Amino acid sequence: MRLFLAFSLFLLSSGLISAGQQITGSIVKNPGKPLIAVTDFRGSGAASGYIDAFNDTVRSDLESSPLINLVPKTLYPLQVPQQPSDLQPGVAPPSNRPAAPQGNRLSDWSLPPISANFLGIGYGAENQGNLVVFGWFYSTAPNMPSLQQAQVFGKIYTAALSREGAVDAGHRYAADILAQFGGKSLVGTKIAFVSSRSGAKEIWVMNWDGSDQRQLTRYGSISTFPSASPDGRIIAFTTYAAGYPAIQMFSLDSGRKLPFYNQRASMNAFVTFTPDSRRIVFSSTAAGGPAQLYTANVDGSGLRRLTYSRSIEVEPKINPATGADLVYVSDRSGLPQVYSMNMEGANLRRLSAGTGEATNPAWSPDGAHIAFAWTKGFEPGNYNIFVMDVASGQTTQLTANEGRNENPSWAPDGAHIVYASKRGGQSQIWVMNADGTGKHALTTKGSNEKPVWVNAEK
């Protein structure tokens, strides 16, 4: 172990490989969901106190992914490899094959009862005050001619020698595994939301996994309806700090507010950005009467009206894949319903069924689906999260009998949805897979609502 660690660190320091750099390997995508086995990494020296946080993070990220199935650890052999030198090539001869797999051959993992298609192994160590984790990922396919060709990747993950560092390294290793199956890493993305934990409704932000929750605004007033620019650099929201609802732009780069010209109106709210982050659509009462939809530059200039109805038009969301159409909520048919139109205000059509109340539409990153809140389905009268295939109009209910669920927002990977769920006296931020599985809470303090996923800065 020490010899291999020293050699690996030599390669790292000499520039022959770098932290996060792939050492070798390739992958052929399997049809269906692959079965993945990942051993618990072990830590030596000072790393031993943090390696459990790494293991817990990897397992949590993989278990919550809809792309794979994680093999239960109860099926693993008692002896597991930690590094490539622990592996032996080929299949053990039948005469020498023990009743239980030993774990030192890839075939031990590919054959029943484990039946894994891929195997992840590795270990952690301390070097010069840093946590260094070595992680490998192998295909267990029987047609691989050698261990070297079976290796999909081998990487070195350097992080702070702390629990936070171990969690960060775990996220990166899990992301590298999921990337082999088309998964996009959520590391670096954030979630903006509204929280009253400080005594007033303020805008907060947290990492995608619920860590590092911090307050952005401190107005002691109502700040609500956050949205994020696609480039991940701006949070827009509505605040009552001046005594009336006005839009404010907030730079995540500088931590300061940006200039925005609000129309003289009783309400300016519900900002959505074009894919290039240069223009917005929002709802305003600038013309008097009920709120209508307008488009403008990101600083509020270049105003142009999009809708001319006698109904309330709110919650616009621009299609992130095309930038050519949007969905929004209108009460023109009586109860609030979800409608779509193009960016010129034409080709209007109702997407929701017309029964119950349908609100909070949110596009999937590929523009093929919308998530929304609806008071119909298996729990009529209560808001629940649904997903609609826009082309066919087919809907799937994701929540039921779990309190009041609203304000869905898609993750940049298209595989997760964050939302607000009120299951008691207070609302909290929850996340789930896009098929409704893997639900878990991200917040526990105060009342938290209206989450929106913030893309990593491009």
Q: What is the pLDDT of residue 93?
A: 61
Q: What is the mean pLDDT of residues 177-181?
A: 95
Superfamily, domain 190-454: TolB, C-terminal domain (2.120.10.30)
pLDDT tens-digit profile of 367-382?
Answer: 999 999 999 999 999 9
The dihedral sign for the CA sequence 403, 381, 431, 402: positive
> Per CATH, the architecture of 2-179 is what?
3-Layer(aba) Sandwich (3.40)
Does position 15 have pLDDT exceeding 80, yes or no?
no
CA dist., res. 192 & res. 213, Å (int): 9
Q: What is the pLDDT of residue 64?
A: 82
Sorted by where each begins, the domain ranges of the chain are 2-179, 190-454
CA dist., res. 184 & res. 186, Å (int): 6
The dihedral sign for the CA sequence 7, 13, 17, 19: positive
Picking from 392, 236, 227, 397, the residue whose alpha carbon sits closest to that of residue 317 is: 227
Count CB neighbours of 142 within 10 A. 11
Q: Model pTM?
A: 0.83
Nearest-10 Cα torsion for 15, 21, 23, 25:
-160
pLDDT tens-digit profile of 148-159?
Answer: 999 999 999 999
Confidence band of 28 (pLDDT split at 50, 70, 90): very low
Residue where the block lists tokens 């013309």: 287
- Crossing angle between the packed helical segments 51-63 and 163-179, to the nearest 10 degrees: 40
Q: What is the pLDDT of residue 24?
A: 35
How would you classify the pairing of strands 384-389 and 42-43?
unpaired
**59 in Cβ contact with 36 (< 8 Å):** no
The share of the chain scoring above pLDDT 90, in percent, equals: 82
CA dist., res. 436 & res. 395, Å (int): 13
Q: What is the mean pLDDT of residues 387-399?
A: 97
Confidence band of 424 (pLDDT split at 50, 70, 90): confident
Q: Residue 136: which residues within 8 A CB-CB, separation 6 or more?
A: 83, 84, 120, 121, 122, 151, 153, 154, 155
Q: Which CA distances in Å does 2 have to 8, 43, 93, 122, 127? A: 10, 12, 31, 14, 12
pLDDT tens-digit profile of 233-270?
Answer: 999 999 999 899 999 999 999 999 999 999 999 999 99
Two structure tokens written together for 313: 């038009």
Q: What is the pLDDT of residue 133?
A: 98
Most confident by average pLDDT, 91-100, 185-194, 358-367, 434-443:
358-367
Q: Which CA distances in Å does 377 have to 322, 353, 384, 387, 395? A: 30, 11, 8, 12, 10
CA dist., res. 243 & res. 111, Å (int): 67
**77 in Cβ contact with 117 (< 8 Å):** no
Q: Which CA distances in Å does 59 have to 62, 65, 73, 95, 140? A: 5, 10, 10, 35, 19
Residue where the block lists tokens 């992958």: 27
Q: Which residues of 196-206 are buried (b: 16+ CB within 10 A; e: fewer)?
A: bbeebbbbbbb
CA dist., res. 130 & res. 87, Å (int): 27
